[in-house]
Structure 1
Amino acid sequence: MTAEHGIVLITGTSSGIGLATAVAAATAGYTVVATMRDTDRARPLLDAAEQAGVALDLRQLDVTDAESVTRCFDGVQRTYGRLDALVNNAGISNFDPTLEMSTMAALRANLEVNFFGVVAASRAAMPLLRACRGRLVTIGSVHGVVGQPFNEAYCAAKFAVEGFMESLAPVAGAHGVQVSVVVPGFVKDTSFGIFPDINRRTVQAASGPYAPTFADYVAWIGSQGWEGAGQLSQEVAEVVVDTLRAERPPFRVPANRWAADYLGHKLTDRDGSTVQTLARTWIGQPDN
């Protein structure tokens, strides 16, 4: 896919990684359809685009609303007649008291956005991507591979995304669509990376019998320092753009060295190549 002729739709562009990726992709020459649930929150994105000297096609998209998904992707097809790439970025954080102290509604809401929203957007995009032999890129998380205490719902959703995309990748690849999951670690300039004291106090107060365990966990976080772990949204955005431009991107793309090493605690097949090569043989698509 060449940048000059690529139409890329990015979800969740009002802030953070989505905002940075929209601007970075437009700067690289892509035509960017930047979507968000509430377009009244578009000012930071539009200001960043203006500062970078790029134009964006801003559209409303709520990945949890079937009508919104259909309307958005049908609109892109009418406008451009094609879609070369989808970047699934929309998501919500969920640093909650542990299972007993949360609610089923909160757990379901997390999965609705972070997993089913990804599935809904991908499902709508696939016919267009197949026609263009395009790219399906999803923002994952190290917590989609390694579970994080007191973050069960978010980890469950990201684990589900990993499994879904790993299963889809060989089949999509056989039909011309390359699937990748970009895996950031600690992104320090987003709401996912900010963990203010008020949140700690709130979760601590709501943790009931788990409060001492939560306190130990917070103390451990504070003792780590996380040198080399943190990265900025812009750095992740550059990895996403590189993945879009790569001739044969790997399935799993750690966004920095720390993320790669962290995944290594659990994975020996760090970029997913071994599993993908094996899975392709199961559907009659061995590597050339």
Structure 2
Amino acid sequence: MMGIRFSALLVAFLASIPYLLDLATRREYPVPPPEGAVVVTGASTGIGAHAAHSLARTGFLVFAGVRKELDGETLKAEAPTLESQENIVPIILDVTKQEQIDKAVQTVSSTLDSLGGRPLVGLVNNAGVGGSNKPVEFQSMDDLRWLFDVNFFGAIATTKAFLALLRASKGRVINISSLAGLTVAPFMTDYCASKWALEAFSDALRVEMGELGVSVSVVEPAYVTSAIFGKIATRMKETADSVSEKVMEVYGHLVQNPTYTRRCIEKASPPTVTSDAILDALTAKHPQTRYVVANVDGLSAKVIGWMIWMFNDRIKDKLIEISRLRQRKAQ
């Protein structure tokens, strides 16, 4: 009995270490004024659209980056209130095109000047795409470069362009990464690598901006109700249908069970979890450096994050192998 109690106390103590350290080392930043403006990229659908609506409803002026004018019109039309609708300003913004980024900066600057010099207090780098769902051996280099252009270089280019405005207001940069930026999964090398790169960029930028009063946070969602996961499920089926028998002989043991994928999507958390994290990162006096949110097949992403922190690489590799083995047996 004593042994069980000791083990339970030890686990509880270890689990509390990250939170205790975070509490002891948290940093205070200027709180942005409520009349401030925020740029949200990738706001056409999913996490970005929900975040744009949420921030607009809170009172922020939201410059919502969309790729088509129709997407911007739809975003405004779907705003939950008239006030939030008025607080949304769609801008055409493909983060892989520097000329559109430059034009977006001009639009934001001129609009804020016309409104009496309202400050730009936040940038939410949300634009992103899913991976190929193929073994790295069969991933196209052109596709991989395009994915990095969107998920990584696009975020850097957009941040660089708006950083002077954010420094002036002591604003916030919020990068939407993924749980895949903390761990890895077979057939997701391209996507995971792009998110790990975004994590490293965020960490380095946070250090550079720290003394300048600009907070940098990362939101790391697991499964969230979003169009991207529907596309991933479709891509997984297309990949499974298209790969040769030879490929399956080599990599078939790592193929994720489609039933498991569907179950994860069905159990996905609502986008309120990401919008709430974004709002906290934008407005809290002590913003977190990382927000791990949502779940995987009902298991809290925070628990998974704790396991990632606790276990070494070999243990994590073995857990992935065991997970895929169980999925195959369940087919």
TM range (shorter): 0.7 to 0.9
Three-state SS of the structure 1 residue aligned to 2:34 is helix
Of 56-65 and 204-213, deviating more is 204-213
Task: Tell me the residue number matched to 2:240.
Answer: 204
Q: After the TM superposition, which residues 1-288 of structure 1 pair with which residues of structure 2 at under 5 Å, given as runs?
A: 1-2=31-32, 4-49=34-79, 51=81, 53-54=83-84, 55=86, 56-81=88-113, 82-192=119-229, 195-196=232-233, 198-208=234-244, 209-212=246-249, 213-214=251-252, 216-219=254-257, 222=260, 225-226=263-264, 230-256=268-294, 258-267=300-309
3-state SS of paired residue (1:4): coil
How far off its partner does 1:190 sit?
Answer: 2.5
Q: Which runs of 4+ in 1 moved over 6 A?
A: none
Q: Is the 8 A contact 2:152 2:197 kept in 1?
A: yes
In 2, Cα distance between the equivalents of 1:177 and 1:114? 22
Q: Give how far 1:224 is off.
A: 9.8
Contact map agreement 2:125 2:174 (CA 8 A) in 1: yes
- Look up the match of 1:280: none
C-alpha distance in structure 1 between counterparts of 2:199 and 2:238, whole Å: 30
Contact 2:55 / 2:279 at 8 angstroms: preserved in 1? yes
Deviation at 1:17, TM superposition (A): 0.4
- Structure 1 residues 188 and 160, CA, compared in 2 at 3 Å: closer, same or farther? same
Distance 1:4 1:223, change over 3 A: closer
Which whole-Å CA distance do the structure 2 matches of 1:230 and 1:171 have between them? 35
Q: Deviations over 1:8-55 (max 9, x none)?
A: 010010000000000000111111111112223234312221556412
Structure 2 CA distance, aligned partners of 1:215 and 1:38?
41
Deviates more, 1:47-56 or 1:181-190: 47-56
Residues 12 and 214 from structure 1, CA distance in 2 versus in 1: closer, same or farther, beyond 3 angstroms?
A: farther
Q: Tell me the SS of whatever aligns to 1:253.
A: strand
Say whether the 8 Å CA contact 2:176–2:219 is kept in structure 1: yes
Answer whether contact 2:125 2:176 (CA < 8 A) is retained: yes
Shift in Å, 1:132: 0.3
Q: Which has the larger radius of gyration?
A: 2
CA contact (8 A) 1:10 1:87 kept: yes
2-structure distance, mates of 1:92, 1:85:
22
Question: How many angstroms apart in 1 are the aligned matches of 2:196 and 2:275?
Answer: 22
- With 214-223 and 119-128 compared, the bigger mean Cα shift is at 214-223
The secondary structure found in structure 2 opposite 1:180 is: strand
Q: Distance in 2 between matches of 1:224 and 1:68?
A: 36
> Are the counterparts in 1 of residues 225 and 265 from structure 2 also a CA contact under 8 Å?
no
| Secondary structure at 1:13 match in 2 | coil
Output the amino acid matched with 2:72. Answer: A
Which sections of structure 2, spanning at least 5 residues, go unmatched?
1-30, 114-118, 311-331
Task: Report the count of equivalent residues.
Answer: 267
Cα distance in 2, alignment partners of residues 45 and 156 from structure 1: 31
How large is the RMSD of aligned CA atoms in angstroms?
A: 2.4
Q: TM-score, normalised by structure 1?
A: 0.85
